Amino acid sequence: MSSDDEAGEPGTSPFVVVGMLKAMRSLGLDVDGICAASGVSEASLTERTDPMLIEEVVPIWRAAMKQFGRGTMGLHVGAAMPQETLLEYVAGASPNVRAALGQIARYIALATRSVRWVIGTREADGLTTFEEQATFAPAAIPPSLREYGMALTTSRIKGWFGRSPGEVLLAHPAQGPVEEYRQVFGCPVRFDQGRMALRYDDEALDAPATRHDPQLFRILESHAAKVLAETPLTASLRDRVRREVITRLRDGEPSVEDIARALATSERSLQRKLQAEGISFRDVVDEARHKLAIVYLGDRTLSMTDVACLLGYSEAAAFTRAFKRWTGRAPSQARG
């Protein structure tokens, strides 16, 4: 079971980002300074309705990370998030943990389309996985931001049902003391697992809510379904092409033939329709690379060669020439 974000452009509700800022403020961070450093206005976010792309969220996150000073910030922001979204209300009103996870998977697009949640099958060790999968280029999302979503979901389930996972799997190395992870998740954590997953046993999954109101649950679920149905999910062809390009860049620059095949159309038709939107296939590829480059350059653990490789260039010099063409300056200058 997963959220239906097949046609939508990855992005996060500004309302969720405002919640992140509230959580950061509760942790003692200077949110005004974070906003200034990332070029956003907290007030404007409260009025914004269109989703924030990951390229907009990551600079906010990195500015906060610089203040926090530890790689584990995502754990604490996730645990401190205020409960304010419709997604949380409908999941929290569920009759048990299993149903709550199903609601999160079904309605995650109400909060973000940058990830999806998928409920797996019961595995040989008796645990069932609830896996978070990025819909954007995973390497562009800082590990601590991935951990934020895991910590948020874990803390909500624990708050609603008093249950912690039996185990947590993280795709990357520990970003800080392992004990800090155990304290937040309330269970053993395994790193470098190649996937992001919460794992629950049957007893936890079937744990009932202490206060479940069937009528309220039906009302909230009906409302969530209506809101999701009315939420525009159809992206422009330009956005769909850009998304397909992004998923393939690590293997080299994709061809127009590759993208046309992925979108079940012909090369000629794809180019004609893009032209009708006022853009060429080459422009979309450059746009995708340019936006991703800004995100990757903000990660100082990545060398110029790493960034070039992630963007599908065979050598760093080719990336440098392209970046100068886009911005008029060298990539090293963009790092400040």
Structure token digits, residue 141: 């999302």
The 8-class DSSP code of residue 206 comes to T
Range with the poorest average pLDDT among 8-17, 249-258, 308-317:
8-17
Q: Give, rounded to a whole angstrom, the gap between the first and last alpha carbons of the chain.
A: 43
**Residue 135 in domain:** yes
Whether residues 133 and 98 share a domain: the answer is: yes
Q: Helices 316-327 & 281-297, crossing angle to 10 degrees?
A: 100
Percent of the chain with pLDDT over 90: 65
**Residue 3 in domain:** no
Instruction: Supply the DSSP string of 236-290, one letter for each residue.
Output: PHHHHHHHHHHHHGGGSPPPHHHHHHHTTS-HHHHHHHHHHTT--HHHHHHHHHH
Whether residues 209 and 73 share a domain: the answer is: yes
**Residue 30 in domain:** yes
The mean predicted confidence, pLDDT, of the chain is 90
**Structural domain of residue 254, as residue ranges?**
237-334
Whether residues 309 and 170 share a domain: the answer is: no
The per-residue pLDDT for range 149-189, each reduced to its tens digit, is: 999 999 999 999 999 999 999 999 999 999 999 999 999 99
Can you give the CATH number for the domain in which 269 is found?
1.10.10.60
The per-residue pLDDT for range 110-128, each reduced to its tens digit, is: 899 888 999 998 999 999 9
Residue 232 pLDDT: 59
Whether residues 226 and 294 share a domain: the answer is: no
The per-residue pLDDT for range 62-104, each reduced to its tens digit, is: 999 999 999 999 999 999 999 989 999 999 999 999 999 999 9
Out of 179, 198, 230, a domain closes at 230
Whether residues 112 and 42 share a domain: the answer is: yes
**Nearest 5 degrees, angle CA 202-CA 94-CA 130?**
45
Place 292 in a pLDDT band, splitting at 50, 70 and 90.
confident
Out of 176, 209, 230, a domain closes at 230
Whether residues 244 and 224 share a domain: the answer is: no
Out of 204, 230, 256, a domain closes at 230
Does this model's pTM top 0.85?
no
**Residue 247 in domain:** yes
Q: Is the torsion defined by CA of 181, 182, 184, 190 positive or negative? A: positive
Whether residues 206 and 254 share a domain: the answer is: no
3-state SS assignment for residue 14:
helix
Amino acid letter at 89?
Answer: Y
Whether residues 244 and 226 share a domain: the answer is: no
Whether residues 260 and 275 share a domain: the answer is: yes
